[in-house]
């Protein structure tokens, strides 16, 4: 069970800080440091900004990708080596796990990522004393960035199906020579009660770091709203955000791997170029596309994470 996962006063204060952050030109990250104390073998585990895995770490992995227009035979499930990105998880450090893999159904940017963010926000709000929480569907949908007019039966079914996919996403952790092995998931339990119109969630306490909220998640949702129904641009955005401030030119081959595109090569190139155009149209990305030999590259000149941010600040109001 979680103990003091997040104090109510910390939540209120942090949400105020997020609003101030949006108004602030300082690009430093906002962390909720004193989030929880967990009893594990008699030891108290306290996260810090140096050792904690942020939810955006999952963005580097190709876990959330564009919805495929044409589904091939291998499009239904994925297996990802997350050993590098998740090596600093407390459970990995404590048990000596070095091989970490995520497997399960293909998760979409258009729906599953929004639901995952809503899960993070829900636990940050209500996971103070337990790893099991319940909240109204309408509030959960707001956390996912959906406006009131979209909170229909269709959306309820879509979110219910997304919870099934997230619940079916497995995280496997193994030590060297597989002397120790643990199997868990992004979500232990997700349930939508149609009669009560509530969402019930249960998290794996050993993966508490994945459920922490930070300012990057909020900023991503604001930009993603502006990229509605543009899954390739959304996925490319989250990938670029996980890179160093001034990365080397990105080959299209690397982008194709991250977006897990499955169409023919010419169509994949067109998809990436369209996604780049969409990101430039939001004011987020200043970049050029160049060709070296037979390979295309994305040369990033500048990124503006707060692109026209005040126009999307209504998302922050959803947390008040």
Residue-by-residue DSSP string for 88-144: T-HHHHHHTEEEEEEEEE-EEIIIIIHHHHHHHHHHHHH-SS-SEEEEEHHHHHHHT
Strand partners, 28: none
Number of domains in the chain: 2
The first and second tokens of residue 96, run together, are 């000596």
- pLDDT by 10-residue block (mean), the chain, 320 residues: 37 37 31 29 31 54 74 66 86 91 89 87 80 93 88 93 93 89 90 92 84 60 76 87 82 89 89 94 90 93 68 44
Looking at residue 298, its pLDDT comes to 95
2 part of a folded domain: no
Looking at the fold, whether 119 and 180 belong to one and the same domain comes out as yes
Residue 86 in any domain: the answer is: yes
303 token code pair:
């990124």
Q: Evaluate whether residue 319 is within a structural domain.
A: no
Q: Are 187 and 289 part of one and the same domain?
A: no
The rounded distance, in Å, linking the Cα atoms of 95 and 116 is 26
**DSSP string for 221-280:** HHHHHHTTT-HHHHHHHHHHHTS-SSPPPEEHHHHHHHHT--S-HHHHHHHHHHHHHHHH
CATH code assigned at 272: 1.10.10.10
On whether the CB atoms of residues 269 and 296 are closer than 8 A, the answer is: yes
Domain boundary among 183, 215, 247: 215
Residue 13 inside a domain? The answer is yes
pLDDT (0 to 100) of residue 271: 93
Query: Quick one: 44 and 86 in the same domain?
Result: yes
Same-domain status, 200 and 241: no
pLDDT score of 220: 65
Q: Are residues 18 and 148 in the same domain?
A: yes
How far apart are alpha carbons 267 and 189 in whole angstroms? 38
Q: Are residues 112 and 208 in the same domain?
A: yes
* Final residue belonging to a domain, choices 215, 241, 270: 215
93 phi/psi in degrees, rounded to 5? -65, -45
Does 273 fall in a domain?
A: yes
Q: What is the C-alpha separation between 271 and 298, in angstroms, rounded? A: 13
Task: Please give the full DSSP string across 6-55, using - where no structure is assigned.
Answer: S-HHHHHHHHHHHHHHHH----------S--BEEETTEEE---TTTPPPG
Strand partners, 289: 298
Give the pLDDT of residue 20: 36
Cross-strand bridge partners of residue 184:
171
pTM of the predicted model, to two decimals?
Answer: 0.69
Residue 282 included in any domain = yes
Domain that holds residue 272: 224-303
The confidence score (pLDDT) of residue 55 equals 55
Q: Does residue 211 sit in the same domain as residue 240?
A: no
Task: Give me the pLDDT at residue 2, please.
Answer: 39
How far apart are alpha carbons 85 and 100 in whole angstroms?
9
Task: Identify whether the C-beta of residue 57 lies closer than 8 Å to the C-beta of residue 86.
Answer: yes
DSSP state of 66: P
Q: What confidence score (pLDDT) does residue 52 get?
A: 37
Question: Do 201 and 245 fall within a single domain?
Answer: no
């Amino acid at each position: 069970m979680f103990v003091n996962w997040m104090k109510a006063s910390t939540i209120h204060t942090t949400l105020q800080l997020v609003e101030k952050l949006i108004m602030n030109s300082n690009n430093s990250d906002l962390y909720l440091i004193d989030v929880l104390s967990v009893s594990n073998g008699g030891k108290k585990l306290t996260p810090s900004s140096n050792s904690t895995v942020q939810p955006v770490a999952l963005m580097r992995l190709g876990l959330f990708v564009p919805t495929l227009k044409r589904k091939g035979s291998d499009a239904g499930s994925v297996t990802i080596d997350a050993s590098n990105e998740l090596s600093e998880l407390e459970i990995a450090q404590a048990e000596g796990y070095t091989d970490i893999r995520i497997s399960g159904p293909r998760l979409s940017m258009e729906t599953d990522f929004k639901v995952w963010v809503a899960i993070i926000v829900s636990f940050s709000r209500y996971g103070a004393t337990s790893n099991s929480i319940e909240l109204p569907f309408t509030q959960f949908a707001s956390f996912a960035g959906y406006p009131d007019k979209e909170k229909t039966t269709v959306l309820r079914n879509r979110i219910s199906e997304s919870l099934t996919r997230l619940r079916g996403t497995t995280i496997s952790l193994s030590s060297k020579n597989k002397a120790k092995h643990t199997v868990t998931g992004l979500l232990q339990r997700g349930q939508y009660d149609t009669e009560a119109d509530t969402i019930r969630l249960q998290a794996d306490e050993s993966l508490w770091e994945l459920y922490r909220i930070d300012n990057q998640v909020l900023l991503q949702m604001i930009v993603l709203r502006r990229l509605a129904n543009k899954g390739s641009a959304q996925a490319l955005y989250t990938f670029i955000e996980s890179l160093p401030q001034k990365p080397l030119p990105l080959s299209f081959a690397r982008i194709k791997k991250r977006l897990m595109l499955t169409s023919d090569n010419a169509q994949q190139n067109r998809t990436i170029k369209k996604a780049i155009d969409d990101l430039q149209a939001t004011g987020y990305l200043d970049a050029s596309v160049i060709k070296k030999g037979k390979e295309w590259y994305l040369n990033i000149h500048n990124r503006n994470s707060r692109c026209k941010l005040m126009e999307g600040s209504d998302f922050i109001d959803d947390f008040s």
